[in-house]
Amino acid sequence: MSGLGGLNKSKAGVVLGLVQLQLPVVVTPADLAAQTRRICEMVGKARRNMATMDLVVFPEYALHGLSMDTNPAILCTLDGPEVAAFKAACVEHRIWGCFSIMEANPGGNPYNSGLVIDDQGVIQLYYRKLHPWVPVEPWEPGNLGVPVCVGPNGVKLSLIICHDGMFPEMAREAAYKGAEVILRTAGYTAPIRHAWRITNQSNAFQNLAYTASVCMCGSDGSFDSMGQGMFCSFDGTVMVEGGGRPDEIVTAELRPDLVREARAGWGVENNPYQLWHRGYVAVQGGAQDCPYTFMQDMVAGRYRLPWTDTVQVTDGTSCGFAPPTRQYGGAEPDPLTLRKVA
């Protein structure tokens, strides 16, 4: 049930719009400025499209297209004109927005970053993609973890980007931090359609969370993005699904109160709770250990697959990128958190 896409908004509901944005070609600063205006226009369309809409979500690569261009002339910063325009659009149209930027990084390759901006023009969530789509993407691996923010009508939101959603650990981390709606933005093309659908469903069910996911759409003359805006309920069912029509806005009302009810009241398949309370019917409180070797090995810095020595693609040279020479610098504190403390 989606309240007829948000037309019949309930007191406890939050209405989202997923923009299957036409895939652009962005090469020059002028192209970047034009695409910024295009996105801001679509914020206005979202508001006119659905008066009840609380949050409009744009796909990964909405601003830059799929060129993987690291040209400094078209990279963004949090205090740059593109983000300023997005903030102004959210204020003008009284709506929250989720946006994608390729962000300049003075210490290395650009970040693939996502922003959630509220209807007052304030950045409430800032995320750097943890898992760039190797070997195709040149972006610096994210180092801010998986943040969660309180969104419109009190819903707890997180954002993961594209390939992130193929790792069940990413959605679990979002839910572990309290996310009730997991946004997933992407630039995926048609070969990923099946994997896209089943991971959106499994990420929802395994974590008793809604997933709201959207790709770029249409062709740029080289690539064909698939659109495929999709809302999945916390039982894993697909609530609403878009097709391949560029600039379609797929909408649904989500009910975070029902997520909270399920997380508190379910016995069967309360997966996030039962992960740490194994077999509580047999032993008091359930087993509270970590029986997963891969988790222990990651923490200890010794993660190694049985087939590690046979893996053939371990850098981006197959896609034309030079082998990297820098080491990963490690996690950083979330600058939004630091700003709020200050």
In order of 4, 102, 123, 125, the CA distances from 336 in angstroms are: 35, 18, 8, 7
Q: Which residues touch 39 (CB under 8 Å, ≥6 apart)?
A: 21, 58, 62, 63, 85, 86, 89, 99
Strand order from edge to edge, sheet including 230-232: 148-150, 156-161, 181-186, 210-215, 230-232, 238-241
Residue 125 has pLDDT above 60, yes or no: yes
Percent of the chain surpassing pLDDT 90: 93
Average pLDDT of the residues in 55-80: 97
149 given a catalytic annotation: no
Average pLDDT of the residues in 37-56: 97
Q: What is the pLDDT of residue 340?
A: 61
pLDDT-derived band at 4 (thresholds 50, 70, 90) equals confident
Q: What is the pLDDT of residue 204?
A: 98
- Using CA atoms, how far apart are residues 39 and 306, in angstroms rounded to an integer? 46
Residue 335 has pLDDT above 90, yes or no: no
Sign of CA dihedral 228, 220, 223, 97: negative
Which candidate in 60, 137, 180, 253 is catalytic?
60
Q: Residue 264: name the closest of 276, 255, 273, 277 by CA.
A: 273
Average pLDDT of the residues in 173-191: 97
- Angle (nearest 5°) at CA 103 between 82 and 161: 100
CA 168 centroid distance within chain: 13
Mean pLDDT computed over every residue of the chain: 96
Predicted TM-score (pTM) of the model is: 0.96
Q: What backbone phi and psi angles, to 5 degrees, belong to 286?
A: 80, 165
60 given a catalytic annotation: yes
pLDDT-derived band at 9 (thresholds 50, 70, 90) equals very high
Which candidate in 90, 98, 149, 162 is catalytic?
162
293-326 residues labelled b (16+ CB within 10 A) or e (exposed):
eeeeeeeeeeeeeeeeeeeeeeebeeeebeeeee
Percent of the chain surpassing pLDDT 70: 98
Structure-block tokens of residue 256: 């975070």
The two beta strands, 156-161 and 181-186, are parallel
* pLDDT, tens digit, 9 for 90 and up, residues 246-265: 999 999 999 999 999 999 99
Structure-block tokens of residue 45: 């369309």
Which candidate in 76, 82, 98, 129 is catalytic?
129
Average pLDDT of the residues in 272-296: 97
Average pLDDT of the residues in 302-331: 95
pLDDT-derived band at 1 (thresholds 50, 70, 90) equals low
Residue 271 has pLDDT above 80, yes or no: yes
* pLDDT, tens digit, 9 for 90 and up, residues 228-247: 999 999 999 999 999 889 99
162 given a catalytic annotation: yes
What helix, strand, coil percent values describe the chain, rounded to 5?
30, 25, 45
* pLDDT, tens digit, 9 for 90 and up, residues 68-100: 999 999 999 999 999 999 999 999 999 999 999
Q: Which fold has domain 3-289?
A: Nitrilase/N-carbamoyl-D-aminoacid amidohydrolase (3.60.110)
Q: Residue 250: name the closest of 242, 261, 238 by CA.
A: 242
Q: How far apart are the two ends of the chain, measured CA to CA in Å?
A: 42
Residue 277 has pLDDT above 90, yes or no: yes
Average pLDDT of the residues in 152-174: 98
